[in-house]
Chain A
């Protein structure tokens, strides 16, 4: 399985190099105040979350799947390798976010440190949710069709969220909850929410992996 993870990273070498260049530019722009650190860490979380798409496209172009199935690696391990690739990339991004937030914290800018951490958590969590949904779809329909289905589902979810927040009174409910917490001096709980959010989002990858395995085991390659 480690061979398959290594294969993914070797194939992504060129893409990762270009990401590194973009990272340097973005960090420079952030230092000069063009945009906030929260934007930069969020941007790279999203970029990392999109990398599995690239892996699947590279597999397709190289006609790897039939050959990969002939290797002495089970299909479950093949799927697990792809999820591990994703987790490693997300882990690297999380570490970068923590370092960035840490730098601001040590520099005394606690507000910037917290906003960086919040943005990072939100984007990391969203990236995990995105992949938890999209990976089984890719195993079922292939990268291109899955992309279309995903965007349709994503827009649908945003639509539902907006519907819940405005006409259905979700925003009012949120404000009431915040007021309720504030009234009982429980605002400290809010600090834990981003981390809890990331943990829940990453836990979604577990059922996603089981679904992907079930699909891939029966797939004709």
Chain B
């Protein structure tokens, strides 16, 4: 089975920020969630993968070939609707059918119907949710094998998000397909992703199967005195406040065996992110 994404040693250098080196692999038939704080480099990574930004070093291979050759098989949704406000969905159909050889106008209209988007209404009259649905319909109508989605569910209400997430799950039911989705809405990622990569200050600090991450990582709630008795290597990060002390534990089962008197609870992706961003590394 071909990997949907293979990134090796990718680096993008700016004056005040460096992304990478990034090594990332997404197997076919899977969804990878890319998380990280604002400015962590998620959009830069996506742009490097699409050739929008030229990397300083490294290689990007999509669907087993260099990214340039894979573009026709990649569907893209960016964090904002890229279509001109004076166009209508039917115009988008006319334009993109001349861009993608595999464009399926019937499928595009099916998605418009499914998402309840009027074909002849001006895009400027669309709500944000409608625009994102239009972007998604456009990304799917040329029957891509890989979807790259940058904040595709941002600003949408839960009902619309749920509809879109269902679409993603349907898309990866084919093991030849893959999705990379970056989002701040980690609850969405917890619902649909198979893998999670956490980008922090331009580096991937955490990457693995989502279920395994959520099963193994844990949140320790303890007192300051308890903390002094814990081996620093057993904690990833610690947060101290006036009222509580918390720690992020890498392997909660092993931790519970080693420290039976302390309570370790399951942790969400949100909490992992907060620990990584604001916690004190030991």
Known contacts: A69-B50, A72-B72. The answer to whether A62 contacts B83 by CB under 8 A is yes
Beta-carbon nearest neighbor of B135 in chain A: A67
Q: Which residues of A contact B1 (CB under 8 A)?
A: none
Interface residues contributed by chain B, number (CB under 8 Å): 27
> Do residues A67 and B78 form an inter-chain contact, with CB atoms below 8 A?
yes
Which residues from 1 to 38 on chain A have a C-beta closer than 8 Å to any C-beta of chain B? 2-4, 6-7, 10-11, 13-14
Q: How far is the CA of A201 from the CA of B100 in the complex (A)?
A: 35
> Do residues B54 and A11 form an inter-chain contact, with CB atoms below 8 A?
no
Say yes or no for A155: interface residue by CB 8 A criterion: no
> Do residues A72 and B95 form an inter-chain contact, with CB atoms below 8 A?
no
Say yes or no for B52: interface residue by CB 8 A criterion: yes
Say yes or no for B205: interface residue by CB 8 A criterion: no
Known contacts: A10-B87, A62-B85. The answer to whether A3 contacts B52 by CB under 8 A is no
Contact with A along B79-98 (1 / 0, CB 8 A): 01011111100010011111
Interface size class of A (residues with CB under 8 A): 20 to 34
Q: Which residues of B contact A70 (CB under 8 A)?
A: 50-52, 71, 74, 76, 148
Beta-carbon nearest neighbor of A5 in chain B: B98
Q: In whole Å, how far is B63's beta carbon from the nearest beta carbon of chain A?
A: 13
Say yes or no for A58: interface residue by CB 8 A criterion: yes
Give the number of residue pairs across the A-B interface with Cβ within 8 Å: 70
Q: DSSP class of A's interface residues: helix, strand, loop or mixed?
A: helix
Q: How far is the CA of A25 from the CA of B87 in the complex (A)?
A: 27
> Do residues A66 and B98 form an inter-chain contact, with CB atoms below 8 A?
no
Q: Which residues of A contact B97 (CB under 8 A)?
A: 3
Say yes or no for B99: interface residue by CB 8 A criterion: yes
Picked from B71, B82, B83, B85, the residue with its CB within 8 Å of the CB of A72 is B71
Q: How far is the CA of A220 from the CA of B74 in the complex (A)?
A: 20
Q: How far is the CA of A69 from the CA of B51 in the complex (A)?
A: 7
> Do residues B82 and A220 form an inter-chain contact, with CB atoms below 8 A?
no
> Do residues B53 and A220 form an inter-chain contact, with CB atoms below 8 A?
yes
Sample of 8 further A-B pairs with CB below 8 A, known A10-B91, A58-B84? A6-B94, A6-B98, A7-B95, A10-B86, A11-B87, A64-B84, A70-B71, A72-B72
List 8 A-B pairs, Cβ < 8 Å. Answer: A3-B97, A66-B52, A67-B78, A71-B71, A71-B99, A72-B100, A73-B99, A220-B53
